[in-house]
Amino acid sequence: MSNETPTAFATARPYIRALLVIAALRYLLDWWRNPTFFDAFGVYGGSLAMMLTVAFTGSLREPSLGRTLKITTWIAFCAWWFPNFVSYLTAQWIGWTHGRFAEGRAAPPAQEFAAKFVNALSTACLTTVVGILWCGLLGILCIWLPTKWSKRSAAA
């Protein structure tokens, strides 16, 4: 048995899977078109619940800030980019204008395929950057700081 530390991606994999399930459920709810009730349901809330669970259970302890940020970046990239690209491309293609696809929150449906693709891609990239910042902040607050504090109190 090796004592090597698993890669950041390997560590993030179960959390990515959980958020992909949430993203898939959100995609299905988008088809239902009830934006007011389900607007708060999604990967942001799921990642908050997941990170708080990690913080309270102590199930993920990372020694360095850099490794914590690598893990949270993988989580955000995998759980935001692809699901949002699929969702926003579907919205562009079908012409959804409800909920998170409403005018002012997303680009209106374009006429040409290339414009639909670019709109979906740019939205997916933008939401991924926001997701990386969100997960990074949660990772610092829920993973790295509790680890640092527990090490400090154990050394005292």
Q: pLDDT band at 103, cuts 50/70/90?
A: confident
Q: What is the pTM of this model?
A: 0.84
The three state secondary structure string of 51-113 is: HHHHHHHCCCCCCCHHHHHHHHHHHHHHHHHHHHHHHHHHHHHHCCCCHHHCECCECCCCCCH
* The amino acid at 156: A
Answer yes or no: is pLDDT of 10 > 60: yes
Q: Could you read off the pLDDT of 15-36 as tens digits, one per residue?
A: 999 999 999 988 888 887 665 5
Alpha-carbon torsion (125, 127, 131, 133), positive or negative:
positive
In terms of pLDDT, which residue wins out, 134 or 38?
134
40 versus 80: the higher-pLDDT residue is: 80
